[in-house]
């Protein structure tokens, strides 16, 4: 059997490398709702919860991230949105992650890229807290995912194509490690190989996720036991 060349790994961050559902996502939710209520309000009274929820859902479904809808339709700057939504009182105390990630990353053959729909300031802090910042060849935050100058975060397929071309890698030699279904699906449709980190995926999405995952692992640490499937 012909050996594959060393893969290019794309790692998601939140709910892939650490447990964002524990404290970070709830805080992001509160911040985002407050931000949207203010922007969607009339200047004096913030918008009510139903209005905020409806808009959040609509933009999330349409664009993959709420931010893009706010940027395109409400004149909000991406930086302002990302900064306010990721403003935490004490981020370090909110991060929950498993030991053994450094060792795992060092064992993986090929380049490793952190590809996250979170902003650079936040994702850099989380990486450093976990001691992983030197274990990635590149860190691509949401601000850097652009096609023709336009923000195109995951699950953008044009951005994935651009990324692979910039590394000179065929889709089949690239592996996305992710918890989010839409991102796994986009990668699968582009011909990438996919690892679904199942630990934080809600029950109602599991069937769809299973359909677009080549390999599934409960925790990213279990990747070590799947290397023979992914890299040979």
Residue ranges binding Mg ion (CB under 5 A) = 12, 14-15, 179-180
CB 121 within 8 A of CB 143: no
Give the three-class secondary structure for 18. strand
24 or 55: whose CB is closer to Mg ion? 24
Please state the closest distance from residue 184 (CB atom) to Mg ion, in A. Answer: 10
12 or 173: whose CB is closer to Mg ion? 12
164 or 209: whose CB is closer to Mg ion? 209
Please state the closest distance from residue 28 (CB atom) to Mg ion, in A. Answer: 12
Please state the closest distance from residue 15 (CB atom) to Mg ion, in A. Answer: 4
How far is 159 from 147, CA to CA, in rounded Å? Answer: 6
Give the three-class secondary structure for 119. coil
How far is 204 from 136, CA to CA, in rounded Å? Answer: 32
10 or 39: whose CB is closer to Mg ion? 10
Please state the closest distance from residue 18 (CB atom) to Mg ion, in A. Answer: 10
Nearest alpha carbon to residue 7 among 178, 228, 156: 228
């Amino acid at each position: 059997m012909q050996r594959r060349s060393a893969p290019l790994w794309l790692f998601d961050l939140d709910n892939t490398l650490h447990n964002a559902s524990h404290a970070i996502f709830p805080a992001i939710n509160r911040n985002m709702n407050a931000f949207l209520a203010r922007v969607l309000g009339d200047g004096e009274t913030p918008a009510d919860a139903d209005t905020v929820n409806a808009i959040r859902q609509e933009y999330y479904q349409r664009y993959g991230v709420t931010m893009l809808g706010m940027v395109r339709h409400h004149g909000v700057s991406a930086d302002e949105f990302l900064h306010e939504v990721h403003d935490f009182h004490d981020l370090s105390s909110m991060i929950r992650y498993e030991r053994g990630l450094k060792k795992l990353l060092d064992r993986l053959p090929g380049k490793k890229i952190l590809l996250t729909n979170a902003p650079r300031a936040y994702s850099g802090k989380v990486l450093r807290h976990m001691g992983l910042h030197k274990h990635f060849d590149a860190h691509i935050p949401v601000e850097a995912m652009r096609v023709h100058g336009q923000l195109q975060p995951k699950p953008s397929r044009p951005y994935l194509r651009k990324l692979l071309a910039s590394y000179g890698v065929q889709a089949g030699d690239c592996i996305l490690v992710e918890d989010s279904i839409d991102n796994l699906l986009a990668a699968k449709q582009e011909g990438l190989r996919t690892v679904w980190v199942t630990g934080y995926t809600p029950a109602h999405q599991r069937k769809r996720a299973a359909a677009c995952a080549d390999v599934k692992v409960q925790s990213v640490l279990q990747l070590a036991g799947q290397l023979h499937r992914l890299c040979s």
